[in-house]
Amino acid sequence: MIPKVFKEVIDLGDGREISIETGKLAKQAHGSVVVQSGNCMLLCTLVSNYKQSDVDFLPLTVDYREKFAAAGRYPGGFFKREARPSDGEVLTMRLVDRVLRPLFPKDYHAETQVMIQLMSHDENVMPDAMAGLAASAAIQLSDVPFETPISEARVGRINGEFIINPTRAQLEESDLDMMIGASADSVMMVEGEMLEISEEEMAEAIKFAHEAIKVQCAAQVKLAEAFGKKETREYDAERSDDDLAKKIYDLAYDKVYAVAKAGSSKKERSNAFSEIKEEIKATFSEEELADYGDLVSKYYAKAEKAAIRNLTLDEGLRLDGRKTDEIRPIWCEVDYLPSTHGSSVFTRGETQALATVTLGTSREANQIDMASYEGEERFYLHYNFPPFSTGEARPLRGTSRREVGHGNLAQRALKNMVPADCPYTVRVVSEILESNGSSSMATVCAGTMALMDAGVKLKKPVSGIAMGLITDVESGKYAVLSDILGDEDHLGDMDFKVTGTADGITACQMDIKVKGLSYEILVNALKQARDGRLHILGKITDTIDTPASDVKGHAPKMVTRRIPNEFIGALIGPGGKVIQEMQKETETTIVINEDPVTEEGIVEILGVGNKGIDAVLAKIDSLLFKPEVGSVYEVKVIKMLDFGAVVEYVEAPGNEVLLHVSELAWERTENVSDVVNMGDVFDVKYFGVDKRTRKEKVSRKAILPKPEGFVERPPRDDKRSGGRDNRGRDNRGRDNRRDDRKPRDTKKED
């Protein structure tokens, strides 16, 4: 028997709908929903253990996977099975996690898994825009404690009109691509890329998405009520002791405030805070610490956070002594690594990024193979964050989700400034060597300089800055912090990263922790970020203000040539013989692609020296060479034959044609060598394809003056007449056999 299904439908306002339903699938999960738009279907399940984990944080796992069967495809690879998540899937996991995690109770530490799967794909629906809705709806149907429904929506803009959850085709025309996560009351997360938009335009896009999210949150509430809202489960809350909290606050606050106000370095400040904490612990006996030592650490952290926040709100000072809008000292350098195609070092305070650029052909493009999207990236950026950058020693376990996310943000910040006609595949790698403050924004700055150092013709240089916000709801005070430290990243109410050119924003990433943040404060914060961004941009352009005029001497040069489709095979040769020999002889890399629109061949030639590239271009010119009837061309003898000489066109080496002995001179020529020899260079006239021989005809004698008294031989008469009439074309039948010929016996005598 099919179980009862509960369903809610969300109208997107333009004929499209999103439905959320429950009751049919995955009923043993604590919450499960199917979210559908068009033919795109996501299944989301939630399971949370009833027993608290022995950790002091929420062990939440958000997993998003795209099943290849959803698009009627096989996974790539030998085993034909989905394996580790792709970067695209990891980015979707991060988007959902960042909105969900703050809404669980601070003292809820049960192992929790949110699993989202793409079960059916629709090429006109981008599934990641519905993942947050699916996750929140599954939680609403469970008994897990959660503050309020949330959802996520993508917003684009075409011709000034905002669109909710645009298709991938619409995004190609859009000047922004932003994902917003929010509850009905507050925006909580923003991430996206833009084509140099203003701060006010960005705020308008967020407002537009928030209105759509309110409708999606209301639909979740209706679905939960129809299904039967469960009572929130009971769980063992963390211990608390108000008297202990007050005691530690009184012991720590003034001392922490004094250290914070001293404006010391990260190491000095860290040591001083540790000493204060140890002094407080020393006031308790060993038995007391054994009993509630975890509370001592917890309450000390709260006191430290309060003191630092108040220092900023009351006096406008920060941990390192800067004012709220002050940027740390910056120094930059380009061309630091001698063997890379481009390199730079960007250091801001105690954060340092070393960026490298590598140039290649389309063969080096980053291939994207997901169920929802297949394609390639000709510009991509990788970000590495080794443990030594923070003075730590910890296990290396491959690329982390954080590294994927930070690299993607920097890539989105820069990619639209790489011109569409850039012939290269460009890879940027950022190695974080020191970190105290936003290393992703240091990556953007270092990447900009490395690209210009490599000779990539960036439209405009890009810089980035990490910002913070501290607010006091009761007093109405707030402080926007420019270029935040690592410590400030955790104690603020909003941390956001903004990148852009001198003319507008190119990418952003925000996590807003305070409820009901006004758009006025948001715009003011973005404008302060613009001032800081322009200050940093000035430091970059002081170091390198324009892209290098050419790539470095040891870097490969790239030339692209288009050829008609019918010549591709000739350039490749049987089994690739021609192109392989050409690459070997010229020391170049040659890649041939086909334009899907014009069907022309696009030939990419990559080589360190111009000599090899010129040789390949000459070969292509030779291949494409088509002599015109009636024109005169210079040729060179490359082979001597009894009946003529094989000559090649000097301007198109490799293009050969037979110069027949009868076309050498007006006089009768007995031996070819009487007129021309190997290596001789002279002119010939081109007559096109001879109708009789069906071969190309050239003539040397046609451009020579006729000898005096020369009499041309009459044209040959091809008509056959007279004699042997019985051998004519019409007399070759079997009926013309001799009548007196005896028939051949067909059987042997017995």
Closest by CA position to 315, among listed 442, 198, 115, 477: 477
Share of the chain above pLDDT 90, in %: 67
Residues 234-238, mean pLDDT to the nearest whole number? 87
Kindly state the tokens that stand for 625.
């060479």
Output the pLDDT for position 722: 46
**What span, in angstroms and rounded, lies between the C-alpha atoms of 127 and 150?**
17
How far apart (Å, rounded) are the C-alpha atoms in residues 176 and 424? Answer: 25
Cα separation, 61 vs 575, whole angstroms? 50
Mean pLDDT of all residues in the chain?
A: 90
Query: What pLDDT shows up at residue 719?
Result: 52
Strand 351-360 and strand 696-699: pairing? unpaired
> What's the pLDDT score for residue 598?
87
180-195 mean pLDDT: 95
The DSSP 8-state label assigned to residue 323 in this structure reads B
- Phi, psi at residue 496, to the nearest 5°? -145, 145
Q: What tens digit of pLDDT does each residue of 328-372 get?
A: 999 999 999 999 999 999 999 999 999 999 999 988 999 998 988
Residue 511 carries which side chain, given as an amino acid letter? Answer: D
Inter-axis angle of helices 199-227 and 519-543, to 10 degrees? 130
Per-residue model confidence as pLDDT tens digits over 260-275: 999 888 889 999 999 9
Q: In whole angstroms, how large is the CA radius of gyration of the chain?
A: 38
When pLDDT is cut at 50, 70 and 90, the band that residue 504 belongs to is very high
Read off the pLDDT band of 713 (50, 70, 90).
low
Which residues contact residue 366 at a Cβ distance below 8 angstroms, ignoring those fewer than 6 apart? 376, 377, 380, 427
* Confidence at residue 26, expressed as pLDDT on a 0 to 100 scale: 94
CA 438 → CA 95, 483, 490, 624, distances in Å?
A: 19, 8, 12, 54
Q: What integer pLDDT is reported at residue 723 of this predicted model?
A: 47
| pLDDT over 70, % of the chain | 95
Dist CA 476 CA 496 (whole Å): 21
* Range among 366-380, 440-454, 519-533 with highest mean pLDDT value: 440-454
Identify the band that residue 728 occupies on the pLDDT scale cut at 50, 70 and 90: very low
Return the structure tokens found at 675.
């007129």
In angstroms, the CA 240 to CA 367 distance is 52
Q: Residues annotated as binding site for Mg(2+)?
A: 489, 495
What pTM did the predictor assign?
0.85
Q: Assign 483 a pLDDT band (cuts: 50, 70, 90).
A: very high
pLDDT at position 396 is 87
d(CA 249, CA 68): 55
Strand, coil or helix: 714: coil
Mark the binding-site residues, compressed into ranges: 489, 495
Query: What's the pLDDT at 87?
Result: 94
Q: How far apart are CA 619 and CA 487, in angstroms?
A: 61
Q: Which amino acid is at 659?
A: L
Which pLDDT band, with edges at 50, 70 and 90, does 670 fall under?
Answer: confident
Q: Would the pLDDT of 387 be above 90?
A: yes
Confidence bin at 748 (pLDDT 50/70/90):
very low
Provide the residue count of the chain.
750
With a cut of 90, say whether residue 21 has pLDDT above it. yes
- Is the predicted pLDDT of residue 437 greater than 50, yes or no? yes
Least trusted range by pLDDT, from 243-247, 401-405, 552-556, 739-743 = 739-743
pLDDT higher for 514 or 168?
A: 168
Count of other CB atoms within 10 angstroms of residue 155? 26
Closest CA to 413 of 193, 177, 201, 94: 193
Segment 454-463, tens digit of pLDDT: 999 999 999 9
pLDDT band at 105 (very low <50, low <70, confident <90, very high): very high
CA angle (588 as vertex; 586, 593 as ends), nearest 5:
125
Cα–Cα distance list, 285 to 189, 253, 282, 451, 573 (Å) = 44, 21, 7, 59, 85
Residue 516 CB neighbour total at 10 angstroms = 9
pLDDT at 442 over 90: yes
